[in-house]
Every structure is written in C-alpha cells, then in structure tokens.
Structure 1
C-alpha cells in the first residue's frame, strides 16, 4: 500500500479507512496497555498520533520506537480521543525502518538553542522550527517564479563564475586551477593568470545584474534567481558568504515603474505566504513570542502575522533621500544621541537603525527611499539632472530595514563611461556591458532582493544562518 503523507491524513475525514504512514518518531508515551506515538514525516508542522496496543506489538518492538527512529505504520483512521487533532491512527502493523540510539541522538524532546542546532545542521530539519522554515522557503521559491511567470518574464541563469565585480566592492572569492604550491609568474613577478583555466582572473559572482541587463536588452523583462557570494569577513546575524538573489531587469522601465513592480512583488510574496503557510507561520509566531517573553514590551518584535499584514495593508511611502535625512536629523533619537550612528546631514550612509525609525516610528508604513547621492551608490545607476544624485531606490521594511535595493540604470554611453572612470571601474574589460549602450539603448531598471533577507522577515527569525539550510560564514563550511 502506498504511503499517505501526514498532512493529507490530518485533513482527511475518511474515518475507518486503512492507510499507511511513514515518518520519524517525535515522542512515545503510554502504559502497559497502550502506547501513543507522535509521528512526523516533514509534510506538516503537526504530528499524527499513532495508537499502538502493547499486547499486539509487544514491549520488545515498542522499545525500539524511540525518539528519532523511523517507522512504517498501517492502520485504521479513527476519530481522535484527545485534543489537538481530529483523527488518529489505530495501528494494525508497525515496522521499525531505522533504529535510533537514544544515547547518541542529539535531538531529544526538549528545547534546543539555535546555536546548538547550527552545529548539527544535518539533523535540524527534523525540528519543528527548521521544518517550518524549510516549507516556507520552498513556498517563497515557488511564489517568486509564479509571480514573474504570470507577468511574462523570462528566467535567465547568469554565470556563477565571472571576471567582473558588479558592485565594485572587491570582496570576491577567487576561482582558480593554478597550482598554489607553484604559482606561475609573469615578467613583472605578478601571478600569470594567462596560465589559469579561463586565461584571466575569475571570481564567484556577487550579482547576476550586469548579465541580466544584457538579456533585458533583447528579451525586455527577465529575472535571475541564483546563488551569489561575498568574501566579506563578517560574522554578524545579517551576513552570509553564500546566499541567493532575485534580480529582475526590465527594459523601458523608469524608476517609478521599478518601484511599482517592487511593491507589487513583495505584497504578492507575503500574501502567498499567508495563504499557503498558515500553520507554519502560526507556529513561528508562537516561537518568537516565547523567545521574547522576557523582553520589555518596547523591545519585543511585532507579532509575526500582524507584521506581514502591516506590509499588505499599507501603501508604501515614497520620499527622497534628502527628505529622509531632514526627518532623521530633526528626530528625537538623533537629537538625544540615541542613534548609534548620528545623522549630521546630507551624505550620510543610512544604517538599519535609521531605516527602521522611518518605517516603524515616523511613517508607520513601509518606505521607499529614492535619489541618493551618487557618491554612495554604484556606477551603473542613472544620474539625475542635478548631476549629484542617482535614480536609486531602497525598499525599507519594519524590523529589518532595507529589503530591496534597485535603480534605473544609466543608458547613456558617455555618462556611464564617465562614471566608470570616476569610480575606477576598468572600462576596457567591460566592453560587452558598454556595447548595450551603443546598439539600441533604452531606459531600463531593475532591483535585487536577497532571498534570505526576505525569509528573515517572513519567518521572524533573528539570524540569517537559520533561514538557509547550510550556512556559509567565515571559518565555517561544514556540511
């Protein structure tokens, strides 16, 4: 008989039917007459209660039904005699598929810290928290593709290995096949990358944007969704060395079109999560409330479901960087020295605390900031007529700050070359990027959404290492 997933069993009203379930034991309790087994197969946050008659199965077999063991049960679906679920399974046959040594198994039925679970990331999928996050992550992946597909966008796979640095940051992982014990040198004593696999220095990509722009110049509306890498030596709760980025690029879009799409996209994703992940989100909300119960009221996070609806139910406020600076400069936290980074005036690089103040305290709505000083933004952003600011946009959310960064791209060849020279971007090496400004250039825009940052917001987790299955951070490439 084919296995029925527990999520389908719990929705079933086919009382009296015979089914087979398979999964991992969360707990077993009972007495000399009957045992109650909480079984989970990863399809839902909820366990199925299996009722096993001790006389039928014997104590020797049931002693093997330990936390962590995998079992297969065939039985009859019956109305639940307890609370919490409508049905339970009366076991007719029970097989232990895989034994579990309880003396070695680290996931005992008790609360474990997130730090401990990161050390056993190969097992944390079996916990309620990480199974919920995995299901939400899957739902968001599906929703991303569904949104763009419904709008006629073309998904493009951009290179993971690249010779360009899209952000000009320089914090990139090098890719090489050179013998590190015998590195070839040229006449100047520098590494001779002509001897390397690609014949030049290459790195893992920090963004698919530049290649995405090339595709948009022929396909109009495209998006990328792939892994990106930063060799930033940062061990904070907001940084990963390997993460996933969603980057749409749209021909014939100006900055306003770009903002409209970003707002629609974010609201679609959040609505999808609420519609399709309600059980997991409710569990994650309760988990967050329990975690923060000892905090002062003003230090606690907004309730998770309420926070998601906050985004859905509000139009995003749009204002310029200059307007935001004035608001922050005159704000009470700034005047009283409560900001860690004081705002003294125009030109300041906004930090998360400033972004959150605008969203949570001042406007009490999501915010999109535009028209940043060109000095603090990337070379490819379109210059405004004032020649001081660029048509950039950052979408700011509660409790997380910036969630999307984007801009209208500079389509004017001469202006783009001037900006590249000004910012020491190698013009000759970027000939292919500049060609798109010579052959039928059009206004175009795009943005980037860090997928794990979105998941932090949707799940309410506080550390980005907990929303990706196997985090890559400085000094950590385990699993």
Structure 2
C-alpha cells in the first residue's frame, strides 16, 4: 500500500479507511501509543498499537528516532487535541535508533547542544518548523518576482570583484600553499593560479546583477554569498544567502516601494501557508521569554510582530532627521545607549534602529540619504555632495533587514568615487561599461535571507535558521 503523508491524514475528511503511514517515532507511551511524525507537518499522528498481539521484540525496537511503517484503520480519536488516529494492524521497523546512542531524546535540549548535532536537530519540533518556514519563504521570494516579470539571474560565486569594498573575502586558489609561486618582486604570482588572477568567493551578486538589469530591465539574484568576517556574534555567518533585485529606470522612491511590497508579500504568504509552524514558534518564544528578566522581554509576541509589519505603512525618514531624533531622545541623553549619538555622520547601531521602530515611530521604518563616507562606492551621490541615495529598512527586534540604494549611473562621478577609495578602474572596467554604454537611473537592494528567516521564525541566533551554519572555527557536517 502506498503511504500517505501525515499532514494529509490529519486533514482527512473521512475515517474508517485503511491507511499506511511512514515516519519517525517521537514518543512511545505505555507500550501502546506512538507519536509519529514524517516532517510534512509539525503535528504528530497517534498510532495505537495492539500491544497484546505485537511481539515483544518489535515493541522493544519502537524507540524515539526509529523509522517505522504502520498500516491500520484511520479512526476518530478518543484522545484530546487530535481528530484522528491510526488503529495499527501491521507495524514494520524500517530503521532502528539505539536509545543509548541517539541524542535527540524527547526532552528539552539547549540550542547550543542542537548546533553540535546540526545533522539531527531538524528532527526536533522547533527545527522542523524553522526549516519548513524557510522553505516556504524561499518559494515566496521566487513567486513574488516571477509574478512581477523579473528575470532570475545566477550571478557567479567565484569573482575577482569586491562589491562591498571591505576586503573580508574568502580567497579561491589552486596554488600549492607549501610552495607558492612568486614574482620577481616577491609577491604571489597569481598569473600561475587557476584563473590567472586573484579571485574570491563573492559577497554579493549586485555588480553582475546590474549589468543584466541594464539589458533585461528587472532581474533578481538569490544565491549563496560569503564573508570572511571573523565574528562570532548571533547575527553573522560566513556563508549565507542573498536576495538582490536590480531594476532599470527605478529611482530611490521606486526602490523603497518595491522593497516594502516585496517583504510584506513574502511574510503574508508564509503566514498563510505555515499557520501551525508559526503558532508553535510563537508559543515556544513565549515560553522562552518567561525565563528572561521583565526588562528584557519583547513587547510583542512573534505573530504580533509579523502583523505589525503587514498592517503598518513603512515610515520614510531621512538619516538627518533620524539623527536629530536619536540625539534628542531620552536614552541618548541619559547615556542608556551603548553607542551615544553626538553628531551627524555616526554609523547607526541596532539599538538606534530598534529605538526608531519600536519606541519612536512604532512602525517599520525606511531610513534614506545616508552620509556618503559610511556607504558603498556605487551609491548615487546627492546634490549636497555629502549624502548618497541609500536606504535601509528597519524592523522591530532585529533592526536593519534590507539595505539598498539608487546606483550611481554617472560615469565620471563613479570613477572619481572609485579613485577616492582606491578601486582599480581596470579591475571593474566591465562594470564601468554599463555607465559608458546606455547608462540610466537604476536601483536595487539586498536582503540577507537568513535575516528574514530569523525575523519570521522569532529565533535570536542566525545559526539556528540555516541547515548547517558556517562560522569562524566551524565547518562541520
């Protein structure tokens, strides 16, 4: 008999039918009641075993983590919290799980312990829910852009360009590290390397994406990116996924409209498709909040935060106005901020961003027109000569979630900015060609996918929203 997904069994309109289900044992109680889960839903189905007619050697093998197949009648359940259950007539052990060695036992495990067992943590309720939400969010990203007529572009993972100009990139080489070839000047001779030049893993597909936008009109990338930042914080990964649309003829206002519409769409879609998972994660977060001091507890639960984003128009505020608000705020005057705001030009921190969203405006915020010296070289310089057409979207609990800009389309201005920060024109001559041949106003933004998953699931550490986190000193699995 073909097996049926547990999600479909739980939603079945009819009972008194013979069914087959396959999955992994979550719990086995009283030698009779199996909680079975197959990953299709956060909810288990109860399977009632006829223990009097089931051999002891089989009953002993029904342990947490074991893979089993059950056949029986789907009937209305007499237990609370479930509509149906399976009265088992046939049970087969597909794969044993030694209870002495299987680490995912039916008890509360610390997140740190689960990170150490990342290959098995997805079998827990929390990580099953997180990964289903991640999957649906990923689909929603493609769905949005495809419906809007965007072209999906796969930009290179190996690149010779540093889009951010920060230099924190992983080098790619096939040179023998024990005997590196050298030039006459004693430098590494990259002409003898695989690509004939110094190359790295990309931190962004934006620059290549811009070239396609200037031919296809509107494109998006969605792929892995890498940053060799030696940071062990809860917000940083060495390998992560980026969503980066680029649109020809869009100015900064168009860019803000697109970003707001996009992010509301993917959150709304995920809430519609994952109600059980999000309700579970909301309850989980509420339980976690109870262990914190009152002052550290969030004012909104997870579902309230998601509705907060959907039901509020994003407030658009210039960086200059934001600095004035922050400088005059009570936390700043009383030096409650870790980073006190004293003057225009300061790089805003998460505490400042959250204050603007959660305390001052009480809605999502889009900051725009940042100081040029704290933003990337490709952002369009304003007429004042000191700010650029940049924008960041700020969310409750997380701060910045989207960063974007109107790109500098003027060839002479872009070249001058590159010279100022020491970027070799020859290295990016292909990028400059988009300004030489048919240049036009264009804009785009970047959204770190894990940052989005972090917000939608309510998790607090970014390592818990990616299947196998890559961080300094950690490349397991």
Shorter-chain TM band: over 0.9
> Which residue in 1 is equivalent to 2:194?
197
- Residue-pair matches, total: 476
1:21-100 mapped onto 2 (5 Å cutoff)? 21-30=21-30, 35-100=32-97
- In the alignment, the residues of structure 2 paired with residue 437 and residue 362 of structure 1 have an alpha-carbon distance, to the nearest angstrom, of 40
Q: State the Cα deviation string for residues 129-156 of structure 1 (Å, max 9, x = none).
A: 1000010000000000000000000000
For residue 39 of structure 1, give the secondary structure of its aligned residue in structure 2.
strand
> Which residue in 1 is equivalent to 2:406?
408
Q: State the Cα deviation string for residues 107-134 of structure 1 (Å, max 9, x = none).
A: 1110000000000001001000100001
- In the alignment, the residues of structure 1 paired with residue 70 and residue 157 of structure 2 have an alpha-carbon distance, to the nearest angstrom, of 45
For residue 229 of structure 2, give the secondary structure of its aligned residue in structure 1.
coil
Shift of 1:30: 1.6
Shift of 1:298: 3.7
> Which residue in 1 is equivalent to 2:474?
476
> Which residue in 2 is equivalent to 1:421?
419
Q: Gaps (5+ residues) in structure 2?
A: none
Question: Is 1:346 paired with 2:344?
Answer: yes
State which of 98, 102, 106 in structure 2 corresponds to 1:105. 102
Q: State the Cα deviation string for residues 360-382 of structure 1 (Å, max 9, x = none).
A: 00000000000001000000000
Shift of 1:10: 0.3
Question: Is 1:125 paired with 2:122?
Answer: yes
State which of 141, 145, 149 in structure 1 corresponds to 2:142. 145
Shift of 1:348: 0.2
- In the alignment, the residues of structure 1 paired with residue 107 and residue 428 of structure 2 have an alpha-carbon distance, to the nearest angstrom, of 56
Shift of 1:58: 2.2
For residue 436 of structure 1, give the secondary structure of its aligned residue in structure 2.
helix
Question: Is 1:374 paired with 2:372?
Answer: yes
For residue 437 of structure 2, give the secondary structure of its aligned residue in structure 1.
coil
- In the alignment, the residues of structure 2 paired with residue 69 and residue 183 of structure 1 have an alpha-carbon distance, to the nearest angstrom, of 51
1:362-401 mapped onto 2 (5 Å cutoff)? 362-401=360-399
- Give the TM-score normalised by the residue count of structure 2: 0.99
For residue 98 of structure 2, give the secondary structure of its aligned residue in structure 1.
coil
- In the alignment, the residues of structure 2 paired with residue 198 and residue 295 of structure 1 have an alpha-carbon distance, to the nearest angstrom, of 52
> Which residue in 2 is equivalent to 1:281?
278
- In the alignment, the residues of structure 1 paired with residue 51 and residue 395 of structure 2 have an alpha-carbon distance, to the nearest angstrom, of 54
> Which residue in 2 is equivalent to 1:228?
225
Question: Is 1:254 paired with 2:256?
Answer: no
For residue 8 of structure 1, give the secondary structure of its aligned residue in structure 2.
helix
For residue 429 of structure 1, give the secondary structure of its aligned residue in structure 2.
coil
For residue 428 of structure 1, give the secondary structure of its aligned residue in structure 2.
coil
Structure 1 ranges of 4+ moved more than 6 A: none
More displaced, 285-294 or 391-400? 285-294
For residue 147 of structure 1, give the secondary structure of its aligned residue in structure 2.
helix
Shift of 1:52: 0.5
> Which residue in 1 is equivalent to 2:447?
449
- In the alignment, the residues of structure 2 paired with residue 358 and residue 475 of structure 1 have an alpha-carbon distance, to the nearest angstrom, of 35
- In the alignment, the residues of structure 2 paired with residue 375 and residue 277 of structure 1 have an alpha-carbon distance, to the nearest angstrom, of 42
- Give the TM-score normalised by the residue count of structure 1: 0.99
Shift of 1:60: 2.1
- In the alignment, the residues of structure 1 paired with residue 121 and residue 216 of structure 2 have an alpha-carbon distance, to the nearest angstrom, of 42
For residue 307 of structure 1, give the secondary structure of its aligned residue in structure 2.
helix
Shift of 1:461: 0.2
Q: State the Cα deviation string for residues 330-388 of structure 1 (Å, max 9, x = none).
A: 00000000000000010000000000000000000000000001000000000111111
- In the alignment, the residues of structure 2 paired with residue 115 and residue 152 of structure 1 have an alpha-carbon distance, to the nearest angstrom, of 42
Question: Is 1:164 paired with 2:161?
Answer: yes
Shift of 1:6: 0.3
> Which residue in 1 is equivalent to 2:12?
12
Shift of 1:238: 0.2
For residue 465 of structure 1, give the secondary structure of its aligned residue in structure 2.
helix
- In the alignment, the residues of structure 2 paired with residue 112 and residue 405 of structure 1 have an alpha-carbon distance, to the nearest angstrom, of 35
- Aligned CA RMSD, in angstroms, stands at 0.7
- In the alignment, the residues of structure 1 paired with residue 226 and residue 263 of structure 2 have an alpha-carbon distance, to the nearest angstrom, of 23
Shift of 1:295: 2.1
Q: State the Cα deviation string for residues 269-315 of structure 1 (Å, max 9, x = none).
A: 11011101110000001111111103233421220000000001100
State which of 416, 437, 460 in structure 2 corresponds to 1:462. 460
- In the alignment, the residues of structure 2 paired with residue 305 and residue 290 of structure 1 have an alpha-carbon distance, to the nearest angstrom, of 14
Q: State the Cα deviation string for residues 250-284 of structure 1 (Å, max 9, x = none).
A: 00000000000000001001101110111000000
Shift of 1:13: 2.1
